Amino acid sequence: MLVAPSILTADFAKLESEIKKISQSDYIHLDVMDGHFVPNISFGPHISRVISHTTRIGLDIHLMVTDPYPWIEQFVFDTTKYITIHYEANDVVNTIKKIKEKDIKVGISIKPKTPVFDIVPLLKDVDLVLVMTVEPGFGGQSFMASMMEKVKELVKLREEKKLDFIIEVDGGISDQTIDVCRVSGVDMVVAGSYVFNHKDPEEAIRSLK
């Protein structure tokens, strides 16, 4: 299991030391929120750039924004590995093309109420599918176990269509929910509160792996 701690839950007054605490993570997940697509504002390109200069761990950037297209170039750093946009956002097809032009892996995310069926035409063009297991916008929400049906559907589609995207989930991930993720076919989990509020973040990451 790949683990991408969400920096959103970290103490931003001690950002460098917080990042050092998660040195065993596979990626660092950046939740970028515009206050329009979701009812919260987090941070933008400047803080993301600071994070990229603080660590060599690959960045898994999740744009929870209404209009991702004009923002793509501002999140292209040496350590950017994935840029994920929402299916429910604007100009998805052209934004996917733009991410590919930057030689960065593309992710597509769906909210809890969006069926997998809606993104089937895009699966051939993406490297990652992010299934939200909470309503996006705020950390600390309860895991929605029913979203594992979407994961199983994606596993089946990936096999049938001979595709190679990875399946990621985000929201309510902990040592209590990781097993159902694993058996359902999840490849990577995003964990915020569980990792950064743990007395030993490295141990929290190992427990998820």
Q: Which residues are catalytic?
A: 31, 170
Q: State the maximum Cα–Cα separation within the chain, in Å, rounded to a whole number.
A: 47
Chain centre distance of CA 100: 17
- The residue assigned the tokens 């269509």 is 161
Q: How are beta strands 188-191 and 27-33 bridged, if at all?
A: unpaired
Name the residue with tokens 């990875």: 166
Contact 175, 197 (CB under 8 A): no
Residues 6+ apart with CB under 8 A from 53: none
Phi, psi of 84 (to 5 degrees): -110, 130
